[in-house]
Amino acid sequence: MEKLVSLGIVENYFEKLKNNLSVDAAIVGGGPSGLVAAYYLAKAGKRVVLYERKLAPGGGMWGGAMMFNDIIVQQEALPILDELGVCYKPYREGACVVDSVHATSALVYAATKAGATIFNCYSVEDVIFRDEAVAGLVVNWAPVMREGMHVDPLMVTAKTVLEGTGHDCMIARLVARKNNVRLNTPTGEVAGERSLNVEQGERLTVENTKEIYPGLFVSGMAANGVSGSFRMGPIFGGMLMSGKKAAELMIAKING
């Protein structure tokens, strides 16, 4: 039985890894926008893989606000919750209250049920840069990166890449710095996020979801961070709508 347990895990894992070395869409970061994008990409029949450096995907949605595990979602994003079967309670002025643990679990389940593959405990240390475009990711174990170990990575080719890393905008910063290129942002660089403004932050999260360099898209707080827009706190409708928009843009790019 001991051999069966180990063999089953190893054989299945390496089959899963082998099947995702060349994909339609590679997503960096398993926050709400990345998970929603993964769901819609997979639903459209695209091969999509998502890399999350932590043990559990979900980003900041798990903790709600100050560990009060509820979040707010505005009316415009409720169709996404309805499609994913997420429960919510109407509150005031078109806003709803959602249990953050329930919602985050539902996003993870929906993405994987639709056919997306999630690899947790992975870090992305670089991109594949070919013909002046982002053409994939360079990945390694998150503990290897955290401990600063000199271990070479593996490469994953992708027709499109989505950065959903949140406030850090790490992929956009890396692409601009290492390749000396201008991004599709107001400054041509990562402008950095501004302070909190809920209404502006929610609206601009969706507006700033776009292709910022050939092959590289941004969603969620990374979209606001690269364009110098506002953070918004524990309201997540913009994140959900940003993920859906990112998926639509990437599907159009993949389909040519």
Q: Is 15 annotated as a binding residue?
A: no
Beta bridge partners of residue 127, listed in sequence order? 137
Please compute Rg for the chain using Cα positions.
Answer: 18
Q: Which secondary-structure segment (H or E) carries 141? A: strand 133-141
Does the predicted TM-score (pTM) go above 0.75? yes
The mean pLDDT of 83-91, rounded to a whole number, is 97
Q: Is 99 annotated as a binding residue?
A: no
Question: Please, what are the domains in the chain?
Answer: 22-255 (3.50.50.60)
**Amino acid (one-letter) located at 80:** I
Beta strand 70-74 pairing with 95-99 = antiparallel
**Closest alpha carbon to 50 in 147, 165, 194:** 165
pLDDT digits (tens, 9 = 90+) for 36-53: 999 999 999 999 999 999
Q: Is 139 annotated as a binding residue?
A: no
**Amino acid (one-letter) located at 184:** N
Q: Is 201 annotated as a binding residue?
A: no
**pLDDT given at position 138:** 98
Q: Is 221 annotated as a binding residue?
A: yes
* Rounded CA separation 155/138 (Å): 5
Band of pLDDT at residue 92, cut at 50, 70 and 90: very high
* Rounded CA separation 66/82 (Å): 26
Do residues 217 and 9 lie in contact, with contact meaning Cβ atoms separated by under 8 Å? Answer: no
Q: Is 189 annotated as a binding residue?
A: no
The mean pLDDT of 188-210, rounded to a whole number, is 97
Q: Is 147 annotated as a binding residue?
A: no
pLDDT digits (tens, 9 = 90+) for 145-162: 999 999 999 999 999 999
pLDDT digits (tens, 9 = 90+) for 116-145: 999 999 999 999 999 999 999 999 999 999
Q: Is 102 annotated as a binding residue?
A: no
